[in-house]
Chains A and B, each alone.
Chain A
Amino acid sequence: MTHTGSVPEVRAENQLPPRVTVLIVIRDQGLFVLWALLVVIFAIAARPHFLTTATGISILNTAAISSIFAAGLGIGVMTGVLDLSVPGTAAVAAVAMGMIIRDGGPVWIGLVVGVLVGVAVGLINGWITVRGFDPLIATIGMLSVLSGLALVLSGGLDIAGLSSLDFLGTNRYLGIPGPVYVSIAVFALLTVMLKFTRAGMRLLAVGGNGEAARRVGIKVNNYRVLGFVISGVCAAIGGIVNASYIAIASPTASTSVIFQALTAVALAGVPFTGGRGSLPKVFVGGVVLATINAGLLIMGVQTYWATIATGVLLIGALVVDRSTNTSISKLLVTGRAGAGKDQA
C-alpha cells in the first residue's frame, strides 16, 4: 500500500538506514509470516485433516464472511469513526431482506432494501456524530435500537427457508463458495477507493488529522458521514451474506462479530488512532483468525482455547506494532541517517 500504508515503497535512493528498513519489513509483513507459521504448525499438529483443500476452502469461507464486517470497521477506524452498531445493522438488514423474500418479493428488491438499511444506519450514525457526540456511545445506542428493531420486525422469530439466496451463500463457483466472491469484491472496491480516489484520500486525511483537513478546506463532516455509511453498508452486506449462507435471517444481533472484526483490523496493523492502514491486510487478518479456529477445532482442542488464542494474538499484535514503531522513530530521530542527509 503506497498511501494508506504508513510507509510507502522504500527505494534505494531514499537512503533509509538499513535497520529502519528491516523494522519496516517486520511491521508490514509480520502478519504474513504469522499466518505461514500457523499453517505450518497446524499442518503438523492437526495432520492429516488440516492441510486439505476442503479445510482451506472452509477457512476461506469463514474468513470471507467475518472479513466483510472487518472491512467496514476497518474503514471506520481509518476514517476516525468507530462504529459499534455493526451487528445491529447486520440483523436489521438481514431481517428486512428476509421478510421481503418470505412474503414473495423479488430477491433483488430484498437485497437492495437490505443494503439501503446499511446506508440509512450510516447516515443516522454520521448525523449524530458530526453534532459532536461521542461515536462510541452513539453507536452503542444505535446497536441497542437496531437489535430491538430487528426483533420487533421479525416478532422475535428466525426467518427460515431463504433458499433463493443460495447463489450468495452455499453455491460454489469454480469450487469457491459465493461469500468469498462477495468479500473479495467488497475489499477490491474499497481498496481501490482508498488508494486511488479523492474520496479515499480525503477519508484518510480526515482520519489522520481532521483539523489539518479542515484547514485546507475539506468538508470534514461530510467525510465522517461517508465513513459511517461505508461501515453501515459493509455491515448490511455482511448480514445479508451470513443469512444467505445459513439460509436463515436471524433477528438476534451477534455482538461477537465486532470483536472478531476488530481483532482482524488490529492484526492488520491498522492503528486505532486512524488515518492509515491497509485494507487487504484486514482480509488476511480475518484469514489468520479463521485459520486458528479451524486448526484448534481439528486438533480437538476445546473451542474456548480459540477465544483465548485470539485475545493473546490481538494484544501481541499491538505490542509488536508499538515496539517496531517506536524503534523506527527513535532510529530516524537519533540516527538521522536518512532524514538529515538529503536535506538542502
Chain B
Amino acid sequence: MTRSAALELDHVCVHYGFLKALDDVSIKVAPGEVVALLGDNGAGKSTLLKVMSGAHRPTSGTLHVKGETRSFRSPRDAAAAGVQMVYQDLALVDAMEISSNLTLGREPMKPGILGQLGFVDRRAMRREAQAELDALGVRTAPVTRPVEMLSGGQRQVVAIARAAARLGEQGVLLMDEPTAALGHEQTELVESLIAKLASRGVAIVVVTHNLPLAGAVSDRTIVLNRGRKVADVPTRDTDKDRIVGWITGASVQEDIA
C-alpha cells in the first residue's frame, strides 16, 4: 500500500459497546484532493470525523498522515500533525474581533521585555490576520470587527481561514457541514475557498448533507451507511440517483474495495 496519501485510514473500526459505529472503513485522501463524505444521520460520518480530528480513538485500525502512522490522543495532537478541523458550530469567540480569533492560541507577542511580561502585539496580530485572509483571496469585514457582527458567510470564512493558517505545508482540512447555515451566494464563496485551498495542495474532507455542494467541490465521493463504506468513486463518474441509493442503503457500489 502506498504511503503518499495526505491522510489515510486503514481498516478503522469504532465500537460503542455492541454497536459498530464504524466497521472496517478504509479511506485515502491525496494532497490537493477534495473528498465529500456523505451518509444519512447515524451512518458514521461524525464518528469518522472524530477519529480523523483526534477527538476519538478508533477501537482498531490505523491512521496515517503524510505517510506516518499516527495515534491522536486529542485534537491538539492532530493539529500538530497538520490536521485541522472546521467545526459546524465554527468555534469562534463572538465577542472578539476577527484578528483575535484568527490568532488565538498562538498570539504574536511584543518584542523584548514587554513580550516576556505577556503583552501581545496587536498590530502584528491584525497584520497576520489580514495576511491570512488575503492569502485566501477573500475580503470580509475589517479585521477589527467582532465576529458577532459578521454574517454567517463571513464567520465561515473566518473559521476556514483560522484552520487554513494552521495547516502548515500540505495539511489536511476536515470540514463539518460548512454550508449548513448559509445562503446561496455565501455557499458559492465557501465553494471557491475550498477549491482554492485544494489547488494549494491541501487535502480536504467535507462532511455534508448537501448533495449539490458535494457535487460542486469534490473530486471523489465516499458514502457511509450504517458504519460501512458503501461507495468510493470519482465524483464525475456518478450521479445524484446513484448517490441517493447508496446513502439510503438501497444499493452498494459493486466493486467496492
B150 within 8 A of A: yes
Q: How far is the CA of A106 from the CA of B90 in the complex (A)?
A: 55
> Which of A14, A201, A211, A342 has most chain B Cβ within 10 Å?
A201
B residues 107-146 with Cβ under 8 Å of A? 107, 109, 117-120, 122, 137-142, 144-146
* Chain B proximity mask over A195-226: 1 for CB below 8 Å, otherwise 0: 01111011011001101110111100000000
Main SS at interface, chain A: loop
Q: How far is the CA of A212 from the CA of B90 in the complex (A)?
A: 8
Known contacts: A209-B93, A216-B104, A343-B139. The answer to whether A6 contacts B145 by CB under 8 A is no
Known contacts: A3-B96, A6-B95, A14-B145. The answer to whether A217 contacts B151 by CB under 8 A is no
Chain B interface extent, by class: 35 or more
B148 within 8 A of A: yes
B105 within 8 A of A: yes
Contact across chains for A215 and B96 when beta carbons are under 8 A apart:
no
* Chain A proximity mask over B145-175: 1 for CB below 8 Å, otherwise 0: 1101111011000000010000000000000
Contact across chains for B139 and A198 when beta carbons are under 8 A apart:
no
B97: contacting residue among A3, A197, A209, A275, CB under 8 A: A3
Q: What residues of chain A lie closer than 8 Å to B236, measured between beta carbons?
A: none
Q: What residues of chain B lie closer than 8 Å to A204, measured between beta carbons?
A: 93, 95-96
A18 within 8 A of B: no
Contact across chains for A8 and B146 when beta carbons are under 8 A apart:
yes
Of the listed stretches A31-39, A145-153, A251-259, A332-340, chain B binds A332-340
* Chain B proximity mask over A1-42: 1 for CB below 8 Å, otherwise 0: 011001111010110100000000000000000000000000
Q: What residues of chain B lie closer than 8 Å to A197, measured between beta carbons?
A: 117-120
Q: What residues of chain A lie closer than 8 Å to B89, measured between beta carbons?
A: 211
Q: What residues of chain A lie closer than 8 Å to B189, measured between beta carbons?
A: 343-344
A198: contacting residue among B85, B109, B151, B153, CB under 8 A: B109
Contact across chains for B142 and A13 when beta carbons are under 8 A apart:
yes
B79 within 8 A of A: yes
A276 within 8 A of B: yes
Contact across chains for A216 and B119 when beta carbons are under 8 A apart:
no
B151: contacting residue among A11, A205, A212, A336, CB under 8 A: A336
Q: How far is the CA of A101 from the CA of B91 in the complex (A)?
A: 51
B200 within 8 A of A: no
Q: How far is the CA of A6 from the CA of B97 in the complex (A)?
A: 9
Q: How far is the CA of A303 from the CA of B202 in the complex (A)?
A: 68
Contact across chains for A343 and B91 when beta carbons are under 8 A apart:
no
Contact across chains for B119 and A205 when beta carbons are under 8 A apart:
no
- Which partner residue on chain B sits nearest A218 by CB separation? B105
Contact across chains for A201 and B120 when beta carbons are under 8 A apart:
yes
- Which partner residue on chain B sits nearest A274 by CB separation? B95
Contact across chains for B105 and A209 when beta carbons are under 8 A apart:
no
Contact across chains for B105 and A339 when beta carbons are under 8 A apart:
no
B168 to chain A, nearest CB (A): 14
A343: contacting residue among B93, B104, B151, CB under 8 A: B151
Known contacts: A8-B144, A197-B119, A197-B120. The answer to whether A205 contacts B104 by CB under 8 A is yes
Known contacts: A208-B95, A275-B95. The answer to whether A201 contacts B100 by CB under 8 A is yes
Q: What residues of chain B lie closer than 8 Å to A202, measured between beta carbons?
A: 104
Q: How far is the CA of A139 from the CA of B212 in the complex (A)?
A: 52
B133 to chain A, nearest CB (A): 10
B92 within 8 A of A: yes
Q: How far is the CA of A13 from the CA of B143 in the complex (A)?
A: 12
Contact across chains for B141 and A342 when beta carbons are under 8 A apart:
yes
Contact across chains for B92 and A209 when beta carbons are under 8 A apart:
yes
A residues 254-291 with Cβ under 8 Å of B? 275-276
Q: What residues of chain B lie closer than 8 Å to A14, measured between beta carbons?
A: 141-142, 145
Q: What residues of chain B lie closer than 8 Å to A212, measured between beta carbons?
A: 91-93, 104
Q: What residues of chain A lie closer than 8 Å to B117, measured between beta carbons?
A: 197
> Which of A3, A196, A343 has most chain B Cβ within 10 Å?
A343
Some 27 contacts from A to B, beta carbons below 8 A apart, are: A6-B95, A7-B149, A8-B145, A8-B146, A14-B145, A198-B107, A199-B118, A201-B96, A201-B120, A204-B96, A208-B96, A209-B92, A211-B89, A212-B91, A213-B104, A217-B105, A275-B93, A275-B94, A276-B95, A329-B148, A339-B141, A340-B151, A342-B141, A342-B142, A343-B140, A343-B151, A344-B140
11 new A-B pairs (CB below 8 Å) besides A212-B92, A275-B96? A3-B96, A6-B148, A8-B144, A201-B107, A208-B94, A213-B105, A216-B106, A338-B149, A339-B151, A340-B151, A343-B141
Q: Which 9 A-B pairs have the closest CB atoms?
A: A216-B105, A212-B91, A276-B95, A197-B118, A208-B93, A344-B139, A339-B151, A209-B93, A275-B95
